[in-house]
A and B are shown apart, each in its own frame.
Chain A
Amino acid sequence: EAGVVQSPRYKIIEKKQPVAFWCNPISGHNTLYWYLQNLGQGPELLIRYENEEAVDDSQLPKDRFSAERLKGVDSTLKIQPAELGDSAVYLCASSSGGGLGQGAGSYNEQFFGPGTRLTVL
C-alpha cells in the first residue's frame, strides 16, 4: 500500500514569491493534516480536514497561508507571499476516520509523508 505522497520534496524560493505544496493521502483516509516542522522542533498542526471540510484551521496564518482539499482526496497548501521565517519542513499526514462506536483506547494512526523542505532566501 502506498504511503502519503508529497511533492515537491525540496523547494527553494526567494522571499515574497508564492509557493505551493501538494499532498496525496493514503487511499481511503478521509482525515488529512498539514503540519509545520521547524528545525529542531516537533511538528505543529496547521490545518486538519475531514473530507473536504477544514475542521481545524486555528493555527493557520490566514494572511499568507491557504489550503484546499476540493474533492476530499488530495490537498494543496499555499504560501503567498513567502517570508524568510517560513523556511521549514511542511508535513502532510492522513488517518482513517474512527466513525461512531470506536471504543476508548483505540488510536487512528496518523501516517506522515516525507515532507517538503522549504528554503526561503
Chain B
Amino acid sequence: QKEVEQDPGPLSVPEGAIVSLNCTYSNSAFQYFMWYRQYSRKGPELLMYTYSSGNKEDGRFTAQVDKSSKYISLFIRDSQPSDSATYLCAMTPTGTASKLTFGTGTRLQVTL
C-alpha cells in the first residue's frame, strides 16, 4: 500500500463548478501538506501548503487537512478551463529540505 493515495481520475466538470480533490495518507509523521499543479509537459508548481490540521484559503482555492482522519482536500471554486491540469498532493514531515511524498495526481478537465 502506498503512503499517499489519490484518485487518478480523470475528473471532468463544467466551467463554474466546484471541484473537490482528495488524498489519504498513512504516515502519521507528515506535518506539511502541499498541493501542486502540473500542466502537460511542465514541472509541478506549488498552489498552496498547509501545516498540520486546519483550513487555508487562497482566492478560489481552499485546502483542508484533517490529521485525525489522515485526509486532505483541495477545493476549487468557480472552476475555469485554465484550471485543467493534473493536481498532485504531496506531504513531508519537515518544512525544510526534505523528501516530498506525492500522490499519483488527479487529472482535471474543466469544459466550456
Binding site for B on A (CB under 8 A): 4, 31, 40-45, 48, 50, 56, 91, 93, 95, 97-98, 102, 104-115, 117
Contact = CB atoms under 8 A, between A and B. Distances in A.
A42 B104 contact: yes
Given A42-B88, A105-B52, A107-B34, A98 B103 contact: no
Nearest to A42: B102
Nearest to B6: A42
B90 A42 contact: yes
Contacts of A111: 46
A58 B95 CA distance: 20
Interface of B: 4, 6, 8, 32, 34, 36, 41-46, 49, 51-52, 88, 90, 95-97, 99-100, 102-105
Nearest to A4: B43
B23 to A, nearest CB: 10
Q: Is the interface of A mostly helix, strand, loop or mixed?
A: loop
A98 B96 contact: yes
Given A56-B99, A108-B97, A114 B42 contact: yes
